[in-house]
Amino acid sequence: MLPIHSTLRLRSNLEVDTGDDESEHDLSAAVAKASEYLKEVGGFASKFDEKEFLQDTNNRTVIKNAFPHLKSGGYLEIQDGIVPWRGDDDSFRGSNFDKWQNLLCEGLSQTGRDLMDAKNWGRYMREEGFKDVVEQHFFMPINPWAKGQREKLIGLLCQRDWALALPDMSVPVFTKILGWTKEQYDKLMEGLLRDLENTDIHGYMEVYVAYGRKP
């Protein structure tokens, strides 16, 4: 597993853009290309199945059920985002985004779902009998705050994706489990969307990937 260190560079490999390289800010061509691709595939945002999102999903059971459906030599790959999102400095802590995710985790925990369990996919695969299991970690900034054209493009796409997906995704958690009114929820979402636009907030999501082979 990836160790968590005390410095910005070692924790996420994302560096804050200080504005000293103007070439990094010219993303027009890359954004145009990405936008065309999103039009072709229909974009990221989709309607979330409320029953599916709120059900007690057991990651270990997912692996157990997948194993017998693979042929010998076949591979299974899992890609999952780890919640809560994090920040390597104090800019993310206490933000509307941070408040939202903490409440989301609180609500889902009441259904038996542990979003931090995403870090255990590789272990579950080994326990089930998969061989040559590989685990990888990636970091996706919540908006274009990070240094580097690649990181800015990833941040921009994540910003657009999450702005469309997150509000609808978490409505049932807040209104059905936590007992919020729709008005309370909408007010929190307004703050979250402002945070997504604020590049002074240096938050990111850890993406965990695990894959292995059935012997």
Phi, psi of 21 (to 5 degrees): -130, 95
Per-residue model confidence (pLDDT) at position 162: 87
- Most distant CA pair in the chain, distance: 54
Residue 170 exposure: Cα atoms within 13 Å on the Cβ side: 26
Bond from prior residue into 68 cis (ω within 30 degrees of 0)? no
Phi, psi of 113 (to 5 degrees): -95, 130
Count Cβ atoms within 10 A of the Cβ of residue 5 and give its class: 0-12 exposed, 13-18 middle, 19 or more buried. exposed
Q: Please write the tens of the pLDDT for every residue from 164-209.
A: 888 888 899 999 999 999 999 999 999 999 999 999 999 999 999 9
Q: How many residues appear in the chain? A: 215
Per-residue model confidence (pLDDT) at position 31: 61
Which of left, alpha, beta for 78 (phi over 0: left; psi -120 to 50: alpha)?
A: beta
Candidates 162, 161, 134, 157; CA nearest to 144 is: 157
What is the mean pLDDT of the segment spanning 90-96? 92
Q: Please write the tens of the pLDDT for every residue from 106-163.
A: 998 888 888 888 889 999 999 999 999 999 988 999 999 998 888 888 898 889 888 8
Q: How far apart are CA 101 and CA 170, in angstroms?
A: 9
Q: How far apart are CA 123 and CA 126, in angstroms?
A: 5
Of the chain, the percentage scoring pLDDT greater than 70 comes to 73
Higher-confidence position of 77 and 40 = 77
Count other Cβ atoms within 10 Å, centred on residue 108: 20
Write the CB contacts of 200 (distance below 8 Å, at least 6 apart in sequence).
91, 145
* pTM summary value: 0.73
Per-residue model confidence (pLDDT) at position 201: 94
DSSP for 147-197 reads SSHHHHHHHHHHHHHHHHHHHHHHHHIIIIIS---HHHHHHHHHHHHHHHH
Per-residue model confidence (pLDDT) at position 198: 95
Q: Please write the tens of the pLDDT for every residue from 11-58.
A: 456 666 555 555 455 566 666 666 565 556 554 444 444 444 445 468
Integer angstrom CA distances of residue 160 from 20, 86, 122, 213:
25, 19, 30, 35
Lowest mean pLDDT across 3-17, 89-103, 135-149:
3-17
Integer angstrom CA distances of residue 162 from 65, 97, 106, 155, 186:
30, 11, 20, 10, 15
Q: How far apart are CA 174 and CA 176, in angstroms?
A: 6
